[in-house]
Amino acid sequence: MNLYHSKIHRSLLVKDARTQQRNNAELRFRAYGLTAVSVGIVALVILLVSIFTSGMTAFQQTKLQVTLELPEAKLDKKGQRDLVAMKKVTTIGYFKVLGDGLIAQLERLGIETGLKAKEVREILSKESAATLRNAVLADPSLIGSTVTMEFLANGRIDGYFKGRVDRASAQLDKNVEPGQLDIADALAERRLMYTRFNFNFILAPDASDQRPEAAGLGVAILGSIYMMLVVLFVALPVGVAASIYLEEFAPKNRLTDVIEVNISNLAAVPSIVYGILGLAIFINMAQFNQSSPLVGGLVLTLMTLPRIIIPARAALKSVPPSIRDAALGVGASRMQTVLHHVLPLAAPGILTGVIIGLGQALGETAPLLLIGMVAFVREYPAAFTSDSGLFGEASTALPVQVFNWTQRADPSFVERASGAIIVLLVFLLIMNALAIFLRRRYERRW
């Protein structure tokens, strides 16, 4: 009996062992594929959840209200309200006045502390003295009166309200006493200490290592906007011009071939190499200012150019030849054909590519580290000054600020770094949504 006859008794509906095995292999293969897709999606979800849970609290800030007297004897000894003389009182002096005001307020409210005066004072952020000083210097008539103002609480107290610090960890922490947390609770009960939306996180400049509660993204956002302007105004025209030439006019020869291979290679060169280029050429050779948005913008422009040219060429290519033939047929020159007919039709596709390229430039960090944008900058950079020229003043950028905060010792900066990432992602989301909108609304399918 041969093999053929042995199987003939079986029903067609019963699968033999080999078919079963092959079907199982098929199922396994599908399962691998599905697993791979889910791994990707789960990774995305974990990434976003971890950033958002640790960063959302940066948008809230604990503040406390203090009603205090501003004694003339300490803040303006001569009593002449002369700004020059008043500026001699530093924030240290103001911090003492403010701390005394807080202690007096606690006594008025009948809150027992059992702490040293210094420890009570440290419930306030070190930044609050500067807040008070600026308010007094702006309006000297406040001296001698009793004012009620809102001040930032210390980073650890802020952490207590956000669940980062508790009494057990406070016991171990040199920077905060459990007694301070008791005071914070008592003040919160009387609605003098509260957590509010933190506009300063978006608007204020960076703050030093000891005062994470005051650190903000103002300078970084401004610097990023300046750099994006440079990229937009240099990379957009140059990129579009280059892609028009390469796609519409370039003869097929050695040189254009070299340029094409070059552009695809430049798109794949590690971004840090552009940082080295910027450092060597723009800063060491051409002596542009370190940390300036101009240099940052130029480096990002060089990096973004190939990433704009490649999609722009694809957009030009997708315009059907019949459009060109029609224009040439009615007597337009080749240049007129391209500028009057092909380019407008390709514009939505080109713009989409430009926006995506800008998004990549916005999130790029490594090259900016090398050209000195990690510097600690507290002054808002001006767009133009006669000394340092256009976009020449020192600045930081959003992604670099994130890196900067990860290098600080105080753990409160982790929250700030994650919060800054959320701001960055929101900007990217807006840009990509705009790109998708442009594509959906204007792009034509031929």
* CB-nearer residue toward another protein: 94 or 405: 405
* CB-nearer residue toward another protein: 191 or 254: 254
* CB-nearer residue toward another protein: 135 or 425: 425
Crossing angle of helices 343-363 and 398-406, rounded to 10°:
20
| Secondary structure (DSSP) of 264-286 | HHHHHS-HHHHHHHIIIIIIIIT
Tell me the chain's radius of gyration from C-alpha atoms.
Answer: 32
Q: Rule CB under 8 A: say whether 276 interacts with another protein.
A: yes
Work out whether strand 193-197 and strand 146-152 pair parallel, antiparallel, or are unpaired: unpaired
Q: Rule CB under 8 A: say whether 17 interacts with another protein.
A: no
- Binding another protein (rule: CB under 8 A), the pick from 20, 29, 175, 325 is 29
- Beta carbon of residue 364, minimum distance to another protein (angstroms, whole number): 7
Q: Rule CB under 8 A: say whether 66 interacts with another protein.
A: no
Scan for tokens 């959840």, then name that residue.
49
Q: Rule CB under 8 A: say whether 116 interacts with another protein.
A: no
- Beta carbon of residue 59, minimum distance to another protein (angstroms, whole number): 17
The SS3 call for residue 340 is helix
- Beta carbon of residue 236, minimum distance to another protein (angstroms, whole number): 11
Q: Rule CB under 8 A: say whether 20 interacts with another protein.
A: no
Rounded Cα distance, 291 and 229, in Å:
16
The SS3 call for residue 338 is helix
Give the count of beta carbons closer than 10 Å to the beta carbon of residue 84: 7
Within residues 194-233, the interface with another protein by CB under 8 A covers none
* CB-nearer residue toward another protein: 54 or 60: 54
For residues 163 and 193, the answer to whether their CB atoms sit within 8 Å is: no
* CB-nearer residue toward another protein: 185 or 257: 257
- Binding another protein (rule: CB under 8 A), the pick from 10, 15, 20, 44 is 44
List CB contacts of 91: < 8 A, sequence separation 6 or more.
Answer: 126, 129, 130, 133
Q: Rule CB under 8 A: say whether 264 interacts with another protein.
A: yes
Q: Rule CB under 8 A: say whether 21 interacts with another protein.
A: no
Q: Looking at this protein, which amino acid is placed at residue 156?
A: R
- Beta carbon of residue 10, minimum distance to another protein (angstroms, whole number): 18
List CB contacts of 200: < 8 A, sequence separation 6 or more.
Answer: 61, 214, 216
- Beta carbon of residue 269, minimum distance to another protein (angstroms, whole number): 6
* CB-nearer residue toward another protein: 65 or 318: 318
Q: Rule CB under 8 A: say whether 117 interacts with another protein.
A: no
| Secondary structure (DSSP) of 166-220 | -HHHHHH-TT--HHHHHHHHHHHHTTSEEEEE-HHHHHS----TT-GGG--SHHH
Within residues 364-383, the interface with another protein by CB under 8 A covers 364-366, 369-370, 372, 374
* CB-nearer residue toward another protein: 359 or 381: 359
- Binding another protein (rule: CB under 8 A), the pick from 359, 377, 381, 438 is 359
Within residues 236-255, the interface with another protein by CB under 8 A covers 237-239, 241-242, 244-246, 249-250
Q: Rule CB under 8 A: say whether 160 interacts with another protein.
A: no
Q: Rule CB under 8 A: say whether 310 interacts with another protein.
A: no
191 — alpha (psi -120 to 50), left (phi > 0) or beta? left
Rounded Cα distance, 115 and 177, in Å:
9
Mask 321-350, x = binds another protein (CB under 8 A)? ------------x-x---x-----------
Q: Rule CB under 8 A: say whether 56 interacts with another protein.
A: no
Give the count of beta carbons closer than 10 Å to the beta carbon of residue 262: 11
Within residues 131-150, the interface with another protein by CB under 8 A covers none
List CB contacts of 56: < 8 A, sequence separation 6 or more.
Answer: 419, 422
Part in contact with another protein (CB under 8 A); list of ranges 67-75, 92-100, 112-120, 263-271 = 263-271
Within residues 381-420, the interface with another protein by CB under 8 A covers 399, 402-403, 406, 414, 417-418
